[in-house]
Chain A
Amino acid sequence: MEAFDPQTFETDFWKDAENRAGWDDLEPGVVLKSRPVEITREIIQRFARSIGDDNPLYFDEAYAKGTRYGGLVAPPSIHALFLFACTDHDHFMRTPGTVNMGQNWWLHCPVRPGDTITLVSRCLDKLIRKGKTFAIHDNVFRNQRDEVVCSGRGWTMRPY
């Protein structure tokens, strides 16, 4: 798998879409491949700005040093970017038309600039309800000290 590079990240989710697993191909419980990702200060601050969050914990080193965190951290919802960063272009969550129905997450410890995040994820369950196909996807993200950063599930409606 190619290493994660925010500069060259493939943003065209149509590209090679036919090679991705459809609902029929999803194998509940089977761990999917993933890659480690270094979370830089730039990635954290761009994410915080995108949700309109100017909390100095994410931007002001001197301020953050004076708090119980002892340094800059990321907003807890930073995991929103981990899934696509930690997976390759053929991951089924990139399939155009995937609709996010709901999420639940346990937020264990803060992410800091310089952390390397790894992912263990799988499709945990799949179902048909009212004629629509759905997948339940579970994710555990850890840092370079093997501490769980956060764990959670997403529930998506599948286009096919």
Chain B
Amino acid sequence: MAEARSFDEIDVGLEVPGPRVEVTRAMIREFAEASFDHNPLHWDDKFLEETEFAGGKKFDDVIVHGLMTYSLMTRAMTDWLLPRDGDLWGEHRRLETRFRKPIYPGDAVEVRGRVVDKRETRKGKWVVCEIMVTNQKDQVVATGEAMAEILR
């Protein structure tokens, strides 16, 4: 668990844990309703059975929204920077993601972050984290890079 709560305490290589989630169809439906994204990729079995995507590939099942994966990745940063004890010591400022493999109902995914760079600019203190999402088969399903502005 990342206990460091100041720029000087953070070392490159520090691990920043993120959420572990067992995905269900109900969860995907809930995210569709919360995000207003009702793309049939997320609920329509018939469409998925009938549709070949680029390269003739089909999806095996409904898939998790990319922005749900993105949101779970942001939680690695917000859980770290905005702890429940109210000592809010940083801001999550940026996230860049690539969605590499579909995430299906039944998958157990884990988000993990790691500090890869830190830098003081003229006006701020910044930490860069690599964020990785893996499934129960240890396949990398999403990768990303996050930036945090450290306030102390």
Contacts and interface: CB of A to CB of B under 8 A. Distances in A.
Interface in B50-93: 51, 53-55, 65-68, 70-72, 74-75, 77-79, 82, 84, 86, 88, 91-93
Nearest to A129: B54
Interface in A46-105: 46-47, 49-53, 55-57, 63, 66-69, 75-77, 80-81, 84-85, 94, 96-105
Interface residues of B, number: 46
**Interface residues of A, dominant DSSP:** mixed
B84 A12 contact: no
Given A97-B53, A103-B70, A106-B94, A55 B36 contact: no
B39 A51 contact: no
B30 A49 contact: yes
A81 B36 contact: yes
A107 interface: yes
Contacts of B98: 101-102
Given A13-B38, A97-B40, A131-B54, A51 B95 contact: no
B31 to A, nearest CB: 5
B19 interface: yes
B7 interface: no
A47 B34 contact: yes
A98 B39 contact: yes
B97 A106 contact: no
Given A102-B98, A105-B94, A132-B54, A53 B78 contact: yes
Nearest to A153: B96
A106 B96 CA distance: 9
A19 B134 CA distance: 38
A75 B95 contact: no
Contacts of B27: 50
Contact of A106 (B65, B74, B93, B99): B93
B141 interface: no
A39 interface: no
A77 B34 contact: no
Contact of B78 (A47, A55, A63): A55
Nearest to A98: B39
B96 A104 contact: yes
Contacts of B68: 50-51, 80
Nearest to A64: B86
Interface string A117-158: 000000000000011100000000000000000000000010
Interface of A: 6, 9, 11-14, 46-47, 49-53, 55-57, 63, 66-69, 75-77, 80-81, 84-85, 94, 96-107, 130-132, 157, 159
Interface of B: 19, 21, 27, 30-41, 44, 47, 51, 53-55, 65-68, 70-72, 74-75, 77-79, 82, 84, 86, 88, 91-99
Given A13-B38, A50-B31, 5 more contacts: A52-B19, A67-B88, A76-B77, A106-B94, A159-B51
